[in-house]
Amino acid sequence: MSSTTATVFLPLFLGIFVLTWLILPAWIKRAKNADLQGKDIHKFKERNVAEMGGIVILLTFMIGIMGYIAVRVFIFNTSSNVTSLFALLVAVLIAGIVGIIDDILGWKIGLRQWQKPLLTLLAAAPIMAINAGSRTMSIPFVGHVDFGLLYPLIVIPIIIAVSTNGFNMLAGFNGLEAGQGILILGTLAILSFNTGTSWLSVVALCMIFALLGFLMYNHFPSKIFPGDSLTYTIGALIGIIAVIANLEKAFLILFVPYIIQFFLKLRGSFKKESFAEVQKNGTLKPRYKRIYGLENLCVKFQNTLRLKTTERSTVYWLYGFQLIFVVIALVI
């Protein structure tokens, strides 16, 4: 990215950050007044926190992308990739709306497990319509495989559904979802730039700066929860960038923690919660003897090492685990 380009886009990124930071306090107040609140599980004293922060991120991200399109058209005099940008925007919006519906219905009542992947498949439709990505994929231990027509019809929906629903599985700790999103999208931004799809790097950075603004209120102790409206939005964007930039292999590597999480959840028939038990001094202990989630594993690991196990330390350990796969994705 040239110095001129950076000079143009830096105000855009900072604007997204500031807009998110400014809007969130108003949303927190409105959400509490409307009783859109959830219990902060990992605090000993009962504490309710505003929900559905993803609505604000979805809004500021969309504003950012529209601003990016305006910059491309009116400053750089190019309309290249505008169709792809609008398709991406519509796809992310669909995923976000599904998340909002799930949030409104409530996490105890919400959408059923089989309904979520089916509804998030709708987010793949705009990406399928523009025939995004390359039909030839590099698969570990197999090599290059040409999927032909199966790529837009089968592979794209699978990737986007897996990324949208998979990203939603590792959650429930202050700052976890937003931080994970920043790590994964940051990696995809670097890889997109290196593979000649720098416009996707800008898209990823728009979301990253929105998430940085969100983290100002979502870090421990959180003042707002992300909700499925955010996790679905981030997850869909990850899958979409992986498809358009032909970064399926990197996506698979970056999603290893979520693949592990899926099988651990499956072990408990998706009925066991990943929350820990909070002690009077604020430390955490595993809720079950067996492991039903990476969060449980991190808590148990810290307990075994006799470390002070808190919600914040558990999130940092999960960040560290994700960073291992970030490095692998960047090196391979």
Write the CB contacts of 282 (distance below 8 Å, at least 6 apart in sequence).
43, 44, 310
What is the pLDDT, as a whole number, of residue 110?
A: 66
Q: Report the mean per-residue pLDDT for the chain.
A: 92
Confidence class for position 1, pLDDT limits 50, 70, 90: low
* Domain definitions of the chain by residue range: 3-254
Q: What is the pLDDT of residues 157-186, one digit of tens each?
A: 999 999 999 999 999 999 999 999 999 999
Proportion of the chain above pLDDT 70, given as a percent: 96
* 262-318 pLDDT tens trace: 999 999 888 888 889 999 998 999 999 899 999 999 999 999 999 999 999 999 999
| C-alpha 135: how far from chain center | 25
Residue range 187-207: average pLDDT?
A: 96
Question: Of 214, 202, 179, which Cα lies nearest the Cα of 326?
Answer: 179
What are the tokens at 214?
């969100």
Q: Is the pLDDT of residue 67 over 80?
A: yes
Q: Is the dihedral of CA 260, 299, 180, 194 positive or negative?
A: negative
Q: Residue 109 — pLDDT band, cuts 50, 70, 90?
A: low
Question: H/E/C letters for each residue in 283-298?
Answer: CEECCCCCCCCHHHHH
Query: Residue 332: its pLDDT value, please?
Result: 85
Return the biggest CA–CA distance within the chain: 61
Give the pLDDT confidence score for residue 5 in this predicted structure.
63
Q: Is the pLDDT of residue 141 over 80?
A: no
Residue 132 has pLDDT above 90, yes or no: no
C-alpha distances in angstroms, 109 versus 102, 103, 106, 116? 9, 9, 5, 13
**Is the predicted pLDDT of residue 140 greater than 80, yes or no?**
no
pLDDT of residue 70: 94
Using pLDDT thresholds of 50, 70 and 90, give the confidence band for residue 79: confident
In the chain, alpha helices (H):
3-33, 54-74, 82-105, 115-120, 125-129, 150, 156-167, 176-194, 198-218, 228-244, 248-254, 256-267, 294-304, 311-331
Contact 243, 128 (CB under 8 A): no
Q: How far is CA 30 from CA 26, 34, 50, 284, in A?
A: 6, 6, 9, 31
Q: Which two tokens stand for residue 49?
A: 């926190």
* Closest by CA position to 205, among listed 2, 12, 8: 12
Cα end-to-end span (Å), the chain: 23
Does residue 44 contact residue 221 with C-beta atoms inside 8 Å?
Answer: no
Which of 311, 146, 123, 128 is closest to 235 using CA atoms?
123
Q: Long-range CB contacts (< 8 A, 24+ apart) of 281-290?
A: 281/44, 282/43, 282/44, 282/310, 283/308, 283/309, 283/310, 284/42, 284/309, 284/310, 284/311, 284/314, 285/309
What average pLDDT score do residues 182-198 get?
A: 96
Q: What percentage of the chain carries pLDDT values higher than 90?
A: 74
pLDDT in tens, 214-260: 999 999 999 999 999 999 999 999 999 999 999 999 999 999 999 99
